[in-house]
Amino acid sequence: MSKKMEISAASEPLAPIARLALRDEVVSQLKQMIDDGILIAGSRLPERRLCAQLGVSRTPLREAFRVLVSEGVLEVQPHRGATVKKLKAEDIDHMFQVLEVLEALAGELACVAMTDEELAQIERLHERMMKAFQQRDRRTFFKLNQQIHEAVVRAARNPALSKVYEGLSGQIRRIRYMAGNTDSQWVVAAEEHEKIMRALKDRNGKALQNLLRAHLRHKRERVKALLAQ
């Protein structure tokens, strides 16, 4: 009665060899170009030139446009083509308002759902980040900072939450690249992260929630200051 064939061998079930569609390759290349400043806010993206430049045809490029539009990175006007979306201070406020409740929820859930393994992982990230802080290595500090927040959200074990969180935080990420925070702001951020780590280790959801909200409100001010050039 072989209704369905089952694979018995030792084929790894979680490694589809990462076959990436050309479209996704184009998506990351375009994001890279935006991050690198090759494409700035308001730039037009003429498809023929980009096709030549990236060495792909229109099919994957146009699909990449669609996913970047849905992520809020690009906007297209009918028959006028795609441009890099420019964010206004207003938009920053709106996105941070949403991020605040999302991260609060993530913190609350993570305190319950997080494994000890994940907690230890976050702690390691935290320690590396504090080391970067002491060495005044801004680049590394911000990278690890971001990884910590993502790890907390992931530890909440809610894919729907992760998806919308990453969508919004990805949009904001492209701004804070010039990274011009004052030292005092930086000190505050580091202090806040110490408290956050404490609340995580205590699995104190309520406290964590409040800390994350305050942390995000401060971050919002820093990002808005950056946006104002």
List interacting residues with DNA (CB under 7 A): 2, 19, 21-23, 44-48, 55-60, 62-63, 76, 78-82
Residue numbers 51-80 binding a copy of itself by CB under 8 A: 59, 62-63, 66-67, 69-72, 78
Q: Which is nearer to a copy of itself, 9 or 160 (CB)?
A: 160
56 contact choice in DNA, a copy of itself, none (CB below 5 to 8 Å, kind-dependent): DNA
Tell which one of 57, 97, 115, 182 touches a copy of itself (CB under 8 A). Answer: 97
How far is Cα 205 from Cα 17, in angstroms, rounded to an integer?
Answer: 38
Our finding on whether 84 is near a copy of itself (CB under 8 A) is no
Our finding on whether 13 is near a copy of itself (CB under 8 A) is no
Range 138-147, long-range pairs (CB < 8 A, 24+ positions): 138/179, 138/181, 138/186, 139/179, 141/186, 142/176, 142/179, 145/189, 145/193, 146/173
How far is Cα 135 from Cα 141, in angstroms, rounded to an integer?
Answer: 9
CB of 83 vs a copy of itself, minimal distance in Å: 16
The number of C-alpha atoms within 13 Å of 177 and in the hemisphere containing its C-beta is: 14
172 contact choice in DNA, a copy of itself, none (CB below 5 to 8 Å, kind-dependent): none
Residue numbers 14-53 binding a copy of itself by CB under 8 A: 19, 21, 23
Stretch that binds a copy of itself, among 100-108, 123-131, 134-142, 184-192 (CB under 8 A): 100-108
How far is Cα 68 from Cα 112, in angstroms, rounded to an integer?
Answer: 34
Our finding on whether 109 is near a copy of itself (CB under 8 A) is yes
Cα radius of gyration rounded to whole Å, the chain: 21
Q: State how far the alpha carbon of 222 is from the alpha carbons of 6, 175, 181, 190, 225, in Å.
A: 55, 11, 7, 14, 5
Joined tokens for residue 102: 């999302």
Q: Which is nearer to a copy of itself, 70 or 115 (CB)?
A: 70
How far is Cα 122 from Cα 159, in angstroms, rounded to an integer?
Answer: 19
Q: Which residues bind a copy of itself (CB under 8 A)?
A: 19, 21, 23, 59, 62-63, 66-67, 69-72, 78, 91, 94-95, 97-98, 101-102, 104-105, 109, 158-161, 163-164, 167-168
